[in-house]
Amino acid sequence: MDYLREIEGKRLHDRNPNEKMMMKSSRCVCVSGPIIVGAGPSGLAAAACLKVKGVRSVVLERSHCIASLWQLKTYDRLRLHLPKQFCELPLMPFPEGFPTYPTKQQFIQYLEAYARKFDINPSFNQSVVSAEYDQVLGLWRVRTVGLKKEETEYVCPGLIVATGENAEPVVPDIEGMKDFGGDILHTSLYKKGGDFGGKRVLVVGCGNSGMEVCLDLCNHNASPTLVVRDTVHVLPREMLGKSTFGLSMWLLKWLPMRLVDGFLLIVSRLLLGDTARYGLHRPQMGPLQLKNLSGKTPVLDVGTLAKIKAGDIKVSPGIQRLRPLSAEFVNGKTEKFDAIILATGYKSNVPSWLKEKEMFSVKDGLPKRPFPNGWKGESGLYAVGFTKRGLLGASMDAKSIADDIEMCWKAESKHFSYFARPSSLQS
C-alpha cells in the first residue's frame, strides 16, 4: 500500500491553500475492477454483463437513485417510445404482463428489479468531476465530489463511461428571453399538463418530447403552440399492425435502406396525409438514412398530429425574439403566451470531466468512431450508451465491453491481483 500513500501526499501537495480549505475530506480508494460512471440503464447493463463474467465493478452515480433521467427528469405520461422487446437490457426480459409500450413507472420498476437481480449497488451522490489515465501507474484516477463537497479519488484499471447522451439539458439562447416574464422551463422539469391548465404555452422543439408535451398540454385544457424551425419526419407509431420501428428493422434485413425509407414514407402519407400542410415539412433524406447519418430521430406520432389537424395545437415557424409575455416569429407574427417549454434536447457532459482527447469528441462529447465501433478506447477506456440507438445500442455496447474486459483481464490477471478489493464498494 506504499504507493497509495504517495498518491495521497502528491494530491495534497498539488493543491493551492484555498483548495485545501474548501476540501471537506479526501480519501483514496483502490478498485480492482473497472469503474462505471453513471447508474442509468447503460451503466446497469454494463455492470450486469460484467457480473455474470465474474468481473466486479464499482458504479458511481451523481444522483441519489438509479436511472435518474427516468426517475427525476421525465414527464408523468411518458411511455417507452419503442416496443418493449427493443428496450430490454441484456440477461433479463421485461415481465410478461407488461404492455407493448411500458409506462415510465413500469420501466423504472424493471430497472430496479434488474439492479436487485444482479446485486448492483451504486455509490450514490458521487459526481465524477475528473477522470484521467495515469501513464506512470498505468491506472485511471477518477475524482468524485459528494453532497457535502467531500472528495474521493478512485484508482482503477478500467473506466466505463455511462453518463449518457442526455446528461445535461440544452437550453438555447433566444433573444429577449430575460424580458419574457412568464415561466420558461426545459422538458427535464416538465411533469404534467395539469400544471398549465388554461394557459397559452409555447413549446419549442418538435422531437418526440416536444410533440408529446403538446398533446399532454392539450389534454389538460392548455393551449399549446409548437415551434417547428426545422424539417421533421413524423411517422405513425404503428403501421400494418406492427410497430413502425420493428417493421423497419425487419425490412432492413431484406432491402436496402433507401427502399425501406421509400416504403415508410408511402405508408406514412397514406395514414397521416401530407404533414407539410400542417407546417411539418419532411427532410429531403428518408427517416432511416437521416437517423443513420445525423442521429436525428423521426417522431413516432402518438396522437399529436390529429390534434394539430383539428387546430387544438397550433404550429408556428421559428422564434425571432421574445417580448414580455409574447413571442415574435420569423414570419413577422406576434402572439401572447403565459409560459414556454423548451423541448430542445440534451447533450453529453463527458468533455467536462474526462481528460482524454482520442476516443471522445470534445465538441459533442460522443465517441468519434461511428457505430458499432465507438465502445472501445485505449488503456481500458470504454463507452456504453452513446450510439444514438437508445437502449438497444446500450445493450450491444454492454455485451461487447464485458466480453472484451473478460478477455483482456484474464490475460492480465496477475496485474489485477495487486489490488486489495474494497468489497463494500463493489457490485
Ligand X SMILES: Cc1cc2nc3c(=O)[nH]c(=O)nc-3n(C[C@H](O)[C@H](O)[C@H](O)COP(=O)(O)OP(=O)(O)OC[C@H]3O[C@@H](n4cnc5c(N)ncnc54)[C@H](O)[C@@H]3O)c2cc1C
Contacts to ligand X by CB under 6 A = 37-43, 60-63, 67-69, 74, 78, 80-82, 87, 127-128, 162-167, 209, 349, 353, 385, 390-392, 394
C-alpha to C-alpha distance for 113 and 264, rounded to whole angstroms: 36
**Which of 53/237 has CB closer to ligand X?**
237
Q: Residues 2, 72: contact at Cβ < 8 Å?
A: no
Q: Smallest gap, in angstroms, from Cβ of residue 384 to ligand X? A: 7
Residues ≥6 apart with Cβ < 8 Å to 245: 82, 83, 86, 300
**Which of 67/327 has CB closer to ligand X?**
67
Residues ≥6 apart with Cβ < 8 Å to 6: none
**Which of 216/326 has CB closer to ligand X?**
216
Amino acid at 199: K
**Which of 195/338 has CB closer to ligand X?**
195
Instruction: Give the per-residue SS3 of 205-268.
Output: CCCHHHHHHHHHHHHCCCEEEEECCCCCCEEECEECCEEHHHHHHHHHCCCCHHHHHHHHHHHH
Q: Residues 427, 118: contact at Cβ < 8 Å?
A: yes
Q: Smallest gap, in angstroms, from Cβ of residue 328 to ligand X? A: 29
**Which of 91/325 has CB closer to ligand X?**
91
**Which of 237/421 has CB closer to ligand X?**
237
Give pairs for 353-357: CB < 8 Å, separation 24+: 353/128, 353/129, 353/130, 353/131, 354/130, 354/131, 354/161, 355/130, 355/131, 355/132, 355/133, 356/131, 356/132, 356/133, 356/381
Cross-strand bridge partners of residue 28:
153
- CB count within 10 Å of CB 189 equals 14
Closest residue to ligand X, based on beta-carbon distance? 40
**Which of 28/69 has CB closer to ligand X?**
69
**Cα-based distances in Å from 117 to 44, 48, 256, 404:** 11, 9, 40, 23
Q: Smallest gap, in angstroms, from Cβ of residue 213 to ligand X? A: 10
Q: Smallest gap, in angstroms, from Cβ of residue 88 to ligand X? A: 10
**Which of 29/325 has CB closer to ligand X?**
29
C-alpha to C-alpha distance for 75 and 77, rounded to whole angstroms: 6
